[in-house]
Chains A and B, each alone.
Chain A
């Protein structure tokens, strides 16, 4: 009897489960084990060695990059929470002039690649930045240096606080207004109420948002590379060690990568532990409605909101502006022209088509896999789908440059030679972005009652037919909305692409980065603007499809 039952369970979804698991074993598990092996095996003798790890921890030159990364990442996380949380609370609690427009600006400022922000801040506040020069020449004031720790902190904070804002805004939607009224009724209001009632309720979300900021900030490669100068963080070290012209050291880069993964895993587990202990089930019957602020409160709230958002969108606007400036060689000269755009289109070659093609192909794969994986983990709970679920989340905690290195080391020789191909870039993007899309697909699927599928089956539809005639169409809107956000993230991705690209697979971000390094600021600005236009267009489509301005990462 039990034998028969077991055979019956092997349906089309079992097949999907095993295909998914097989692909993950090939493109994630195997490369990771390979990475681990590289990090502890001596290249020449083939013997086991801890030399790479000892090298990292014994030389301050390397070890300090880890400390630097932690310093700046903790500072960024703390600052984004301190800036983003009040902003989200103000937006939920008070009427603010031009709120819809401000919200768009917040999202826009978070959607660009951080290194573009870094480069813009250098143009503004760097040694020869326009603001620095203005103050130095007209008033003789020397601005503090934007390079190093401060620069990374400013750029990443302004880039990442919108994540906290979006997370907290979402959480506040679930806080019932009656809770605030009850608190006030019992004599607790204003900041005290925010501190002892609101904060504890949104704490799990705060942790989740904090984790995301932490991971993004820790893994960011472009910003410290451009604005960090002497302040080296470890994605930069990984990159340098691996790519170094003087014969990159795979083993050492692998060892640093392993250290990075251990650290991020650790942080992830702490966050999990903290947030599961403090989760509340809330069902908001009446949402918090914005009230009119008066007097000083009103003024302060407006100054805060406009100030912060203005500051974070400024780099974008400045780049937009410089893209129309006249360029002579590599320097801006007075006057305006479309010269930068002309040169850009002339030189970039395939970068624009690549930017549409590589994330485009990745997106299609991501949508299908996310739908399949979400389906098996929600509807077919068993040991194997559980494993698929866990494995699919692994890339969430692996920094982008480590994903790049892992794939390169695994697939740079036969039998599977993928380095230099478009496929390896697609795999990199798919691995990195799938966790997010799976989460959002799971959320969508959980909203669809199981009964609907049972009804279809009772009416004679097969399992596969039920999936594509009933489940997929019902998931479609949610899937597409999630996909567009993935798309936006992928077209501005740098950390993985910079390791995997070749001349033929160069993307816009890689091209922009190259042009900045070469000092061709005009071209870089023009390309950044093109990228921004792509982003804005995508977001407009997102709004149209999802029918709301809600964005979750």
Chain B
């Protein structure tokens, strides 16, 4: 069985400090849902409220139609994977995985079979009688996953499970977790501060800041049409440029360069902020109607090369181009920039609203 999780007007306070003022989300059945945000944004706090480790100062938490606010941790039927794995150091791999089953008073055979099944699923059967101290980080991670899933939980909760692994193993486990979640078909809430990891693994992402959800959407939605400037800068890299929107001509004035902009819902006129991702500029030596700019620096990073470019009005931007064999752009060069206008996001001056029509 799997469930949808519903959080309505959740409040979390520590003494006088409010961590989460008023938060509501709906997490769908079998969905891989990620809470993403900088440290201190309240994402782990929210996860631990769902798990039952934190008290709830206000609002209701539901698994399907059941309110879980007052339910003991041990009765919630959740599987939890911790940042440090929290493997019981005095138990073997097998005993760790069996622990939850034994608390459920299953028969000896059921315990044995279920344990074997998940040890095999996680490919750690051969280590079953090892003590945790003799396992590598990745193996401990697999034990933690097996232990969390073997009890057939209604919900799987993961708190930055990959942050203690090295970069290569992180990619491998990321894929393993993704595949496993689809295979078992379990509603999953995943916490991370790594935006690339979140995009790679999630069905939907909630971007959080200061205890408030800024944007909920698929990875594509939050990357291409971020709800506000915080989301635009937190997910991927972007250039923020001050510009002016003229409702009459439906055009944007950037310094002394202007271009048409149809995709704006608002009718108001005035200063706006453009968010243009570094890959959405094209540079050219020839003047074909682009913005006349100067390259001030370039950094070669293998696959791509990053260019720092000064606009005529003095604003500095970053442009990413695929690296080429013959470096044809260098510092001091005069270049002409064109913009992929349909990918631009236009924000209100305070940065809180995306004015694009298709948001």
Contact = CB atoms under 8 A, between A and B. Distances in A.
Contacts of A454: 51, 53, 73, 80, 82, 86
Interface string A462-478: 10010000100110000
A263 to B, nearest CB: 37
B90 A473 contact: yes
B178 to A, nearest CB: 22
Given A1-B58, A451-B82, A456 B51 contact: no
A462 B51 contact: no
Interface string A443-485: 0000001011011111111100100001001100000000000
A48 B110 CA distance: 74
B70 A460 contact: no
Contacts, number: 67
Interface residues of A, number: 20
A116 B257 CA distance: 96
Nearest to A455: B86
Contacts of A5: 55-56
B99 interface: yes
Nearest to A466: B74
A462 B75 CA distance: 9
Contact of B51 (A4, A8, A452, A458): A458
Contacts of B76: 458
B51 A459 contact: no
A458 B72 CA distance: 9
A460 B151 contact: yes
B51 A461 contact: no
B151 A452 contact: no
B103 A460 contact: yes
B78 interface: yes
Interface string B72-99: 1111111110111011111000000001
B219 interface: no
A452 B103 contact: no
Interface residues of B, number: 32
Contacts of A452: 86, 88-89
Interface in A474-507: 474
B70 A8 contact: yes
Nearest to A460: B103
A460 B74 contact: yes
B30 interface: no
A460 B72 CA distance: 9
B116 interface: no
B88 A457 contact: no
Contact of B84 (A8, A449, A457, A459): A449
B88 A455 contact: yes
A531 to B, nearest CB: 35
Contacts of A473: 90
Interface string B138-163: 00000000011001000001000000
Contact of A459 (B52, B53, B55, B147): B147
A4 B57 CA distance: 11
Interface string B293-328: 000000000000000000000000000000000000
Contacts of B58: 1
Contact of A456 (B83, B88, B151): B88
B278 interface: no
Contacts of A458: 51, 73-74, 76, 78-80, 148, 157
A58 B272 CA distance: 87
Contacts of A457: 52-53, 72-74
Nearest to A4: B70
A449 B103 contact: no
A459 B86 contact: no
B114 to A, nearest CB: 13
B37 interface: no
Interface string A193-222: 000000000000000000000000000000
Interface of A: 1, 4-5, 8, 449, 451-452, 454-462, 465, 470, 473-474
Interface of B: 51-53, 55-56, 58, 70, 72-80, 82-84, 86-90, 99-100, 103-104, 147-148, 151, 157
Top 9 A-B residue pairs of the complex, sorted by shortest distance between their CB atoms:
A459-B100, A460-B103, A451-B86, A455-B86, A458-B80, A457-B73, A451-B82, A452-B86, A460-B74
15 contacts: A1-B58, A449-B84, A452-B89, A454-B82, A455-B80, A455-B87, A455-B88, A457-B72, A457-B73, A458-B51, A458-B73, A458-B78, A459-B103, A460-B104, A462-B72
